[in-house]
């Protein structure tokens, strides 16, 4: 994964996710409701992009699409220049297992597994032998600062710790993309800060592309770009340098 850090500062950024005229509608005829109305966007390799938007804006739908969890009604999603719609079930499972790491708002750790077992589940699916999985799992737990708690179950950990385990799990097969769905929404101010720092570190040190949906304005301090979604359309995309100036208006915006 390290070579990707070198491309970060290259003038021509490599594209990792591209969507073309992405539409998603539910129902038929007059009752059709649109969640997405044609999103065309590009996400570059190794960037940290925040997706913001009010509830019902289609943010979650967009997220499911680029995570290859849902199929669009119209339009295309290209991940690493591969059309997701063309993938077979096995290839989709491969994509979810190896290329994308998911971080959820409610952590979604498996209740009856220890931290280490949780982290190594995706490695099992990837065919990593148990000893290797254990070694890498402990490494990842060390990365999120929970090496000592490897034998604890989710119920024995705080929300912040659970989310850190979830981050370690999302990293278990060295994915190129991390999709974080409101990772700090269930956490208090301080722990949310810790989570964001870990995400930023992963982005900076490992060159992992991070797409993070959020309402958390602190995220604006760590991300490279912000994508605003409203009524199923991309309202605007701004880079962080620009947003800093407008920070005063943020409260009214979201």
Partner 1 sequence: MKAIIAQSQVALGPARGIQLALSGMSYRMFRSAVTIAILALATAFLVHMLVYGLLAGQTERNAYAELSRLRGFGEQITRLARADSAPRIVSTLALGQPARLAEYQRWAKRDVGEFARGRAVAERLARVRQSLTELPPTAQAVLIGDLTPDELLESLREPATLARFNKKLADLQLGAAAVNQPELVQLVTLEMGSLQQLTTAIATGHQEAVRGFSLKFPNRTAEVVAAEPPADWGISLSSLGFSRDGNLAELADFARNARDERTISELLLEADVRSSVARELNLLPKDVDLQTTLAYALRAEHAEWLAGVLAQLNAPKHLNGPRIQAIAEVFKHRARLEEILGDRVPSADGGFLGLPERLRWLVLLSFLVCVVGVANAMLMSVTERFTEIATIKCLGAMDGFVMMLFVFEAAIQGVIGGVLGLVLGLLLAALRGAAEYGALFFSIGEIGGQLLLGMLFSFVVGVLLAALAAVGPSWVAARLSPMEAMRVE
Determine, following the binding rule CB under 8 A, whether residue 174 of this chain makes contact with partner 1.
Answer: no
Q: How far is the CB of 90 from partner 1 (least distance, A)?
A: 5
* 28 three-state secondary structure: coil
Of the candidates 197, 191, 231, 227, the residue with the CA atom closest to the CA atom of residue 212: 227
Chain residues 126-165 in contact with partner 1, contact rule CB under 8 A:
126-127
The pattern of x and - marking residues 72 through 101 that bind partner 1 according to CB under 8 A reads -----------------xxx-xx-xxx---
Q: Which is nearer to partner 1, 167 or 243 (CB)?
A: 167
Binding to partner 1 by residue 60, rule CB under 8 A?
Answer: yes
Task: Please report the beta strands in 9-117, taking only residues with DSSP state E, as ranges in sequence order.
Answer: 15-26, 33-44, 48-52, 74-79, 82-83, 100-103
Tokens of 132: 């290797």
Q: Alpha-carbon distance 125 to 93, whole Å?
A: 9
Among the residue ranges 7-15, 17-25, 34-42, 57-65, the one whose residues contact partner 1 (CB under 8 A): 57-65
Cα 150 to Cα 141: distance, rounded to the nearest angstrom: 7
Taking CB under 8 A as the binding criterion, the range among 3-11, 37-45, 63-71, 226-234 that sits at the site for partner 1 is 63-71
214 is an interface residue for partner 1 by CB under 8 A: no
Nearer to partner 1, 14 or 113 (CB): 113
Residues in binding contact with partner 1, number by CB under 8 A = 32
Query: Per the structure block, which two tokens stand in for 99?
Result: 């290329």
Which of 96/238 has CB closer to partner 1?
96
What are the angstrom distances between the C-alpha of 173 and each of 24, 43, 139, 205, 208?
30, 21, 12, 16, 12
Q: Are strands 82-83 and 74-79 parallel, antiparallel or unpaired?
A: antiparallel
CB of 140 to partner 1, least distance (A): 14
Overall size of the chain counted in residues: 254
Q: Which two tokens stand for residue 236?
A: 């605007």
Binding site for partner 1 (CB under 8 A): 60, 63-64, 67, 69-70, 89-91, 93-94, 96-98, 102, 104-106, 108, 110-113, 121-122, 124-127, 169, 173, 181
């Amino acid at each position: 994964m390290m070579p990707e850090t070198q491309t970060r500062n290259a003038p021509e950024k490599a594209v990792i996710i591209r969507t073309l005229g992405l539409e998603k509608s539910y129902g038929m005829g007059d009752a059709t409701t649109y969640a997405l109305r044609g999103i065309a966007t590009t996400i570059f390799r190794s960037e940290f992009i925040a997706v913001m938007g009010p509830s019902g804006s289609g943010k979650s739908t967009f997220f499911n699409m680029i995570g290859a969890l849902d199929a669009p009604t119209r339009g295309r999603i290209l991940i690493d220049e591969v059309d997701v719609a063309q993938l077979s079930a096995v290839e989709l499972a491969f994509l979810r297992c190896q290329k994308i790491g998911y971080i959820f708002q409610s952590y979604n750790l498996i209740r009856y597994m220890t931290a280490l077992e949780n982290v190594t589940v995706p490695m099992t699916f990837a065919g990593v032998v148990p000893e290797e999985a254990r070694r890498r799992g402990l490494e990842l737990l060390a990365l999120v600062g929970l090496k000592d708690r490897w034998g604890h179950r989710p119920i024995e950990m705080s929300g912040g710790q659970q989310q850190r385990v979830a981050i370690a799990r999302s990293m278990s097969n060295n994915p190129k993309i991390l999709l974080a769905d409101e990772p700090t929404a269930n956490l208090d101010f301080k722990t949310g800060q810790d989570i964001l720092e870990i995400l930023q570190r992963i982005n900076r040190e490992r060159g992992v592309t991070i797409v993070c949906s959020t309402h958390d304005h602190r995220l604006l301090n760590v991300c490279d770009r912000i994508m605003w979604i409203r009524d199923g359309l991309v309202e605007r995309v701004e880079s962080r340098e620009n947003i800093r100036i407008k920070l005063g208006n943020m409260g009214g915006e979201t």
